[in-house]
Amino acid sequence: MTLSTGTLSLSILALLLVPACRIRTSPAAPKHVYGRTSVPPAVKRQPCKDGVENPEAVIYVKELSKWIMLRNPETFTGDYAPETFCFAVSEASGLNANADPATGLVTVRADMIRMSPNTDDALAAVISHELAHVTMQHRLREPVSADLPKDIDLVELARRQTAQKAWQVKIKESRTAIIDDAIRSGFMENVSVLFTDHAIWERIVPLLGQIDKGSYQESAKAFMKMDEKYASAIKNPQSEPVNTWRLLDEIILNFEQLVASIPDFKTFSKPDPANCHPENICQDRKIFESIFNYVEKKLRPSMDNTCGLHLDAKDDPNQYPPWLQWMEQQADEVGFEFYLRAGLSARHFTTFIETMMEADKKFDLCLQNMKKKAWKAPRITDEYVDGHPPYCFRYDNLTVQEMISHEKEYSPLVSKAILRTLPELLEFRNAAISALTPKT
């Protein structure tokens, strides 16, 4: 039996909701467009390789992912064909996973597999979410209107995007001016000597007096490695301004360490024309003096000023962009489609979210709130310091709001989505669990 238009089928509700949760009678505005589970790659996808750590677990994750993808053939074809994805299992601590939309590499932490050693559904939910990040090209593109929920403040979003772009222009202009000056002043030419003339480091040792030998040698090695590490930036500083900026920053840090290792640096760096033996030693000293003066008087203050350009925290593009929490919500919803079509238990898609709420002792509070009349979980908290919506929102969104929004489309799928374990994967799952080092 089905309720009136816009409400949830009783059979679906029974599968998805804990008994204490009430039935919603007012549908939420549709969020993602049902069936829109991929967009063309924002850039040409780069090849990837499977991880070599925990090989048995990688095989299990790969086989489970293949199960999901083969049952979503309209999405996982062409640019997103199953063979274009790679998988890794990391021993980094914690319940987490991530995906690189540029390559299709999905990395699952081993604790995610240990969390549910006897079922496939919990891990399948996490994998489905990560696959959605790739097929929706999250972080590689700005969202279009079809990506955004109805309740987002488009005026505020536009203001923040404008503020971010203006700030990025300021940063770019400032960095360009600093690099131009470093070239024009001869600083880049002088400092290149320290990268390429490795003999200079031995040549000047007799003139340094007492030094911290270990620190001096560490600085010398760091400078000598820069020639290889920043070859293209040294050759053409303006061709890769961001890389050149990193080079300048590393020069400052290592030059400060170098000066700190030489107590009498200022005396050493003042060449005495009457005592320029051995040959060219005065030129060596002039180079160090010139670099020191430029770093102290020009380069460091200029870079500090650039880094200090004021921008309100919520507008800072180095923080989370204003649509990132929606992309995580979209990955939940698109991943839910993948998961249901693969026949996996609809009720257990939120296992991971429930586990995280229980760890924070917030699950019961969330369930209590869900019983309140007209209560709706907030989608956004501190948007620019957290890239994910609150767990309670994600739970409510998936178990109630998403089903209300797409009742007609999900109804035929949910009745078939009952699998918790896949007999075809039993061998792979058991091998993965056996090979993983148990956590105490």
**Same domain flag for 328 and 303:** no
Note whether 106 and 85 are within 8 A (CB). yes
**pLDDT tens for residues 227-243?**
888 988 888 888 888 88
> Which of 254, 280, 313 lies at the terminal end of a domain, its last residue?
313
Separation of alpha carbons 53 and 162, rounded Å:
43
**pLDDT tens for residues 123-173?**
999 999 999 999 999 988 877 778 877 666 667 667 777 877 788 788 889
Asked if residue 358 is part of any domain, the answer here is yes
Q: What is the distance, to the nearest Å, from the Cα of residue 24 to the centroid of all Cα atoms in its chain?
A: 35
Q: pLDDT value at position 66?
A: 98
**Sole residue written with tokens 């200029």:** 302
Query: Residue 203's pLDDT band (boundaries 50, 70, 90)?
Result: confident
Separation of alpha carbons 131 and 356, rounded Å:
21
Domain holding 431: CATH number? 1.10.390
Q: Is the dihedral of CA 62, 356, 433, 342 positive or negative?
A: negative
**Same domain flag for 210 and 286:** yes
**Same domain flag for 221 and 354:** no
**Same domain flag for 214 and 131:** no
DSSP string covering 208-236: S-S--HHHHHHHHHHHHHHHHHTHHHHH-
Asked if residue 440 is part of any domain, the answer here is no
**Same domain flag for 335 and 400:** yes
Query: Residue 79's pLDDT band (boundaries 50, 70, 90)?
Result: very high
Note whether 203 and 282 are within 8 A (CB). no
Note whether 120 and 318 are within 8 A (CB). no
Note whether 87 and 150 are within 8 A (CB). no
Q: What is the distance, to the nearest Å, from the Cα of residue 213 to the centroid of all Cα atoms in its chain?
A: 40
Stronger pLDDT, 322 or 387, i.e. the higher one: 387
**Same domain flag for 93 and 14:** yes
Residue numbers of the domain that contains 356: 10-152+324-435
Structurally, the chain folds into a number of domains equal to 2
Mean pLDDT to the nearest integer, 340-367:
89
- Bridge partners, 99 (sequence order): 106
Question: Cα angle vertex 139, ends 87, 331, to 5°?
Answer: 65
Asked if residue 1 is part of any domain, the answer here is no
Return the number of other C-beta atoms located less than 10 Å from residue 401's C-beta.
22
**Same domain flag for 94 and 174:** no
Contacts of 395 by beta carbon, 8 Å cutoff, 6+ apart? 350, 353, 354, 357, 366, 377
Asked if residue 335 is part of any domain, the answer here is yes
> Which of 292, 313, 334 lies at the terminal end of a domain, its last residue?
313
**Same domain flag for 22 and 131:** yes
Comparing CA positions, the residue from 290, 33, 273, 245 lying closest to residue 145 is 33
Stronger pLDDT, 206 or 345, i.e. the higher one: 345
Asked if residue 246 is part of any domain, the answer here is yes
Asked if residue 113 is part of any domain, the answer here is yes
**pLDDT tens for residues 280-299?**
678 888 888 899 999 999 99
Q: Is the dihedral of CA 422, 427, 432, 438 positive or negative?
A: positive
Asked if residue 3 is part of any domain, the answer here is no
